Amino acid sequence: MIQLQRLEGFYWVARCEGYARAARAFPYPITQPGVHQQVRRLEAELGVRLFERIGKDRVVLTPQGRILYDAIAPFYEALPALERSLRSGEIGGRLRIHASGHVLRHLLPPWLRRLRGQRPDIEVALFEAKTPAVAALRSGEAELLVDHLPEVPSDLEARQVGKTRAFLVVPSIPRPQLKGPVTPVPWRDEPFIAYSSDTYLRELQLAALAHFGVVPRRIYAADSAETILGFVAAGLGYSLLASVEPRGPRVPGVTALPLTEPARQFPLYVAWRRTPQPNPLIAALLALAPSS
């Protein structure tokens, strides 16, 4: 295994074409014999000559030395800029964000456009989650989740970035008095389309129906709000959904109407793991977050 310290000596000699000049160029104090010793030990490790002397105080790379220099020079040349970036916190990289399908389509796009405009060095990978991806944060699979959280776990930090409002969604067929706010009572005998994978949201739906004295006689189950809306558009039933859009979900074949009561709003959070060292990529995204 090549020792990095010896590679450093080799790099500076190759760059300066001399041992004395390399010692003066080093980022920390070192003597000319010290630099020479690093290179000699590296040559002994590799079993090849790396430099050829062409003058009293000038050396040039051998073909083997040129191959090694071309491989390591980009690393050493990038170090000063990398150090400045690390110290200032302005580093690029990749953020993995898990969010619900509705948030991915309606809340994140303008937010990420602002990020791209100011920090094109930050890449974002988006993943759709059927339920809030708390486990993905804890395992390190994701840096952020954006979703509704019934409560924020103690090992996470969070900031509210939006809110949703509950809407009754029904097929867009001619009906009398389709003007909101409304109650679900007129649809009580029709099939209700509920969440299947997210038990918390399903319980919220059924509790809201119970508030109006409605107990569904038939229930269809769907994994996501988009699937529920597809069922409603097909005329298979009605549902209750939360939406960040002021007028509710806008889908062909679906009419969205605000409920008379309870006029509940649900906060949307961006959440991340609580760590001793803040992630500068997360800080850059939070600086551009929408107001709640």
Residue ranges per structural domain of the chain? 4-88, 94-162+266-288, 164-265
* Residues with Cβ within 8 Å of residue 70, at least 6 apart in sequence: none
**Helix orientation angle between 4-16 and 32-46, rounded to the nearest 10 degrees:** 110
Which two tokens mark 273? 């793991």
Of 212, 236, 216, 232, the closest CA to residue 224 belongs to 232
Is it true that 94-162+266-288 and 164-265 share their CATH fold? yes
pLDDT given for residue 266 in this prediction: 87
How many whole angstroms separate alpha carbon 8 and alpha carbon 113? Answer: 41
CATH of domain 4-88: 1.10.10.10
pLDDT given for residue 87 in this prediction: 77
CA 127 to mean position of chain CA atoms: 9
Instruction: Find the Cα–Cα–Cα–Cα dihedral 41, 45, 51, 52, rounded to 10°.
Output: 100
How many whole angstroms separate alpha carbon 105 and alpha carbon 244? Answer: 10
Give whole-number Cα distances, 99 to 53, 104, 199, 250, 286, in Å. 61, 6, 17, 20, 15
pLDDT given for residue 197 in this prediction: 80
CATH of domain 94-162+266-288: 3.40.190.10
For 190, what's the count of Cα atoms within 13 Å in the CB-facing half-sphere? 15
For the 164-265 domain, the top CATH level (class) is alpha beta
How many whole angstroms separate alpha carbon 220 and alpha carbon 229? Answer: 12
Cis preceding linkage at 171, omega within 30: no
Residue 221 one-letter amino acid: A
CB 242 within 8 A of CB 266: yes
Q: How many C-beta atoms surround the C-beta of residue 246 within 10 A?
A: 7
Q: How many C-beta atoms surround the C-beta of residue 204 within 10 A?
A: 20
Task: Note down pLDDT in tens along the chain; length 292 residues.
Answer: 778 888 999 999 999 999 999 999 998 999 999 999 999 999 999 999 999 999 888 999 999 999 999 999 999 998 887 787 777 767 778 999 999 888 998 999 999 999 999 999 899 999 998 788 899 999 999 999 999 998 899 999 999 999 998 899 999 876 555 566 788 999 999 999 999 988 888 998 999 999 999 999 899 999 888 899 999 999 999 999 999 988 899 899 999 998 877 557 889 999 999 998 888 899 999 999 997 6
3-class DSSP assignment, residue 201: helix
